[in-house]
Structure 1
Amino acid sequence: MPPQLGTSVGKLEPSSDPAQQFTWEEVGLHSGKENSKQERWLVINRKVYDITHFFWRHPGGTRVITHYSGQDATDAFTAFHKDKDLVRKYMSSLLIGELAPDQPSCEPTKNEMLINDFHELRTTVKQMGLLKPRHAFFAFMFLHAFLLDIATWLTIWYFGKSWVPFLIGIAMFTAAQIQYGFFQHDLGHLSVFKKPKWNRFCQFLCLALLKGGPPSVWNRMHNQHHAKPNCFRKDPDLSMHPVLFSLGKALSIQLGKKKKKYMPYQHQHKYFALLGPLTFMLYVQFKIFHYVFKKKTWIELFFILFYMVRVYLMYVPLMGFKSFMAFYWLARFLESNWFLWVTQMNHIPMNINYDKNLDWVSAQLAATCNVDQSWFNDWYTGHLNFQIEHHLFPTMPRHNYWKVAPLVKSLCAKHGVNYLCKPMLTAFADILRSLKQSGEHWQEAYFH
């Protein structure tokens, strides 16, 4: 589901009789799996909505809402929408009925007791004030990244472009860019300010002016990831599968049986450290310009070009064009390494498969794990070492993850759901271990 509906939705289709009642089986038949022209329904709080025509105009993108076609989208809807009263005004015209009284609140295949307990936990979280941001914390996180950015230029300006200031400058520039990325991630999840529009505005300034990226691309792709994490063909973070990497046991075996070999996957754990970040860096640059031209988001294009000109004018007069190119692209490569290892340590070692339509809690826990807390780990990962809590409560300010973590752990223990937490170096090693195992599964299926 998208972050926040706005007034740009326009006039929606007229609704049918809201008194009509449906079964889960009837809802499931309207999933639009065969083609995009089929009817698409979903359920939110026992109400059945027809999104057949609306999903094309969905502000959060067409895919993120259609990922829940024929399914219960209650928890995803609740997790991503802060101003629910505003959203419901636009939902009323999509309402076509509700679940029949004899139908359970969630799909029969799901753990209703776990879902009910999670709803109680979410109520507790709200009562504890854990969804309220501490502005001083976010001001510090932004300010320290901004100071690193300024210090980079001052280092090159004062000490010149010899090896020591050159490498120190690259380190500070990389750290600044990563921390900007974590901050815009907070803004993208609407967790810094109470009003969604302020989060959106500041995210635009941070991502476009300080990192040279289009917020609309990030929002549409990242929301899909949160809606269906580690679900092949629904989570865009798996876009490199199966071109470069074979991920997950089930998908690797399937790829091998089909005799698909785009890369020597049995060696993917060896080339991940170089090829993964390098490809990601180039892919991001391609995706940025492909999207802005395809969607004609000219304002974003203007600010991306403005960022490039700004950085060029700041550094080329100090170090020359060739040194600047080496400086900039080495920093981007290191940033890609940092980002990829931090984000994938929570996901690649976990379950990767097609969408099994699990309940919200089970789906997030199956696709995520945590890394031990420490001052350094919190800073280095942008608090994504609390990936489980972040996925369960996407709009929660990250400084509160550690407070809700014991409650989530207790919920998981009560229902026998695995809550995995590990040291950071172990998490990094598990990426390679998982890739090695997936490659072996592919190799066995391919050659036998």
Structure 2
Amino acid sequence: MAILGGMIALLVVIGDSWLQLLIAAGLGIVFTQMAFLAHDIGHRQVFRTKRGAQYAGLALGNFGVGLSYGWWMGKHTRHHANPNHVDEDPDVGVGVIAWSADQAAERTGWASRALAAWQAFLFFPLLLLEGLQLHFQSVRALWSPEVKWKKVEALLLGGRLVGYAAILLATMSPVKALVFFLMQEAVFGFYMGSSFAPNHKGMPMVEGRMDFLRKQVLTSRNVRGGWFVDHALGGLNYQIEHHLFPTMPMPNLRRAQVLVQQFCADHRISYAEVGLFRSYQEVLRHLHSVGAVLRPAAGTST
């Protein structure tokens, strides 16, 4: 909150200057860190009561980050229940990216097939649009039955948008304000996507049923790297422990890791942990292999 306030103050002081793009990039990082905190609040890691978590999540998610808290909670709960399940995990559902060979093979149209065929090369560039996509999904979710506090969420999302636009237009020209917004959203989307990609992408996809332990461990990947990675990824680098104990506060995940690793070793359960750049390599390798079925015919329409 202190860094956010300081950046807004700098934004006003700097005024109508292209130096504002540095502030825009910084805000993209700050909003992502706020999203990490909203994630922890949603998992009941911060407040003991459901009401406290609900109020804080709505304030931080909708007004702070600009994402529908109710929509995200429903989507994320389904993900935790069945991670990497081809039919039940919304994070690997049908979308821009094909997460399985079957999804790639079902693509129709030249553009969609070509995108899936070369998606490994397009993955990180596409993340620049992820922030805008999340905002769009949040607004669309206001008509969804899973968002219970529709009026409150709409008011918070609308208030954030009006306030954001008012600050930008009061301190810089409309052109600079638009470029500022696009820069902030590009950094936000790229950072968010880069933080979530190593968690499950490229890990085994599930079609049938598994026991809880193996379902959570075998589909998740941890990322090593010390205190910097811990904070840069918001604790999501302990993805295995987080999925086993979703209400455990983030600072305790590294302590639980020792116990979980030993338990998995004792029971001969594969435990995936790699460095950050290796995790991205595995994600891109998986995406490239998924698109292989389309590459020989990527230039032809169906």
Contact kept in structure 2, 1:151 and 1:172, CA below 8 Å: no
Query: Which letter does structure 1 place at the counterpart of 2:60?
Result: C
Return the alpha-carbon distance in structure 2 between the equivalents of residues 202 and 396 of structure 1: 18
Give the structure 1 partner of residue 283 of structure 2: 431
Query: Which letter does structure 2 place at the counterpart of 1:272?
Result: F
Pair 1:190 & 2:44 matched: yes
Contact kept in structure 2, 1:247 and 1:438, CA below 8 Å: yes
Give the structure 2 partner of residue 406 of structure 1: 258
Pair 1:274 & 2:129 matched: no
Report the CA distance shift for 1:196/1:346 in structure 2 as closer, same or farther (over 3 A).
same
- State the shift of 1:444 in Å: 7.2
Q: Which has the larger radius of gyration?
A: 1
Give the structure 2 partner of residue 124 of structure 1: none
Give the structure 1 partner of residue 205 of structure 2: 352
Report the CA distance shift for 1:368/1:161 in structure 2 as closer, same or farther (over 3 A).
farther
Secondary structure, in 3 states, of the residue corresponding to 2:113? Answer: coil
Give the structure 2 partner of residue 325 of structure 1: 178
- State the shift of 1:434 in Å: 1.3
| Matching residue within 67, 80, 83 for 1:226 | 80
Pair 1:150 & 2:5 matched: yes
Contact kept in structure 2, 1:191 and 1:397, CA below 8 Å: yes
Unaligned runs of 5+ in 2: none
Q: Which has the higher contact order (CA 8 A, sep 6+)?
A: 2
TM normalised by structure 1 equals 0.62
Pair 1:291 & 2:141 matched: yes
Pair 1:199 & 2:199 matched: no
Pair 1:422 & 2:274 matched: yes
Return the alpha-carbon distance in structure 2 between the equivalents of residues 204 and 409 of structure 1: 35
Give the structure 1 partner of residue 30 of structure 2: 176
- Cα distance per residue 1:288-332 (max 9 Å; x no partner): 122113448122101110111111222211112221121112211
Contact kept in structure 2, 1:224 and 1:236, CA below 8 Å: yes
Give the structure 1 partner of residue 168 of structure 2: 315
Pair 1:246 & 2:101 matched: no
Q: Over aligned residues, Cα RMSD in angstroms?
A: 2.1
- State the shift of 1:212 in Å: 2.1
- State the shift of 1:200 in Å: 1.4
- State the shift of 1:159 in Å: 2.5
Unaligned runs of 5+ in 1: 1-145
Give the structure 2 partner of residue 392 of structure 1: 244
Return the alpha-carbon distance in structure 2 between the equivalents of residues 339 and 281 of structure 1: 8
Contact kept in structure 2, 1:190 and 1:200, CA below 8 Å: no
Report the CA distance shift for 1:306/1:253 in structure 2 as closer, same or farther (over 3 A).
closer
Contact kept in structure 2, 1:316 and 1:324, CA below 8 Å: yes
Return the alpha-carbon distance in structure 1 between the equivalents of residues 217 and 293 of structure 2: 24
List aligned pairs for 1:127-142, cutoff 5 A. none
Query: Which letter does structure 1 place at the counterpart of 2:273?
Result: C
Report the CA distance shift for 1:324/1:336 in structure 2 as closer, same or farther (over 3 A).
same
Task: Give identity over the alignment, percent.
Answer: 25
List aligned pairs for 1:112-123, cutoff 5 A. none
- State the shift of 1:443 in Å: 4.5
- State the shift of 1:193 in Å: 1.6
TM normalised by structure 2 equals 0.90
Query: Which letter does structure 2 place at the counterpart of 1:274?
Result: P
- State the shift of 1:402 in Å: 0.6
Secondary structure, in 3 states, of the residue corresponding to 1:385? Answer: coil
Contact kept in structure 1, 2:15 and 2:171, CA below 8 Å: yes
- State the shift of 1:344 in Å: 1.1
Out of 300-309 and 319-328, give the one that drifted further: 319-328
How many residues of Structure 1 are paired with residues of Structure 2 in the alignment? 293
- State the shift of 1:411 in Å: 1.0
Return the alpha-carbon distance in structure 2 between the equivalents of residues 198 and 320 of structure 1: 40
Secondary structure, in 3 states, of the residue corresponding to 2:190? Answer: helix
List aligned pairs for 1:11-26, cutoff 5 A. none
Query: Which letter does structure 2 place at the counterpart of 1:194?
Result: R
Contact kept in structure 2, 1:350 and 1:368, CA below 8 Å: yes
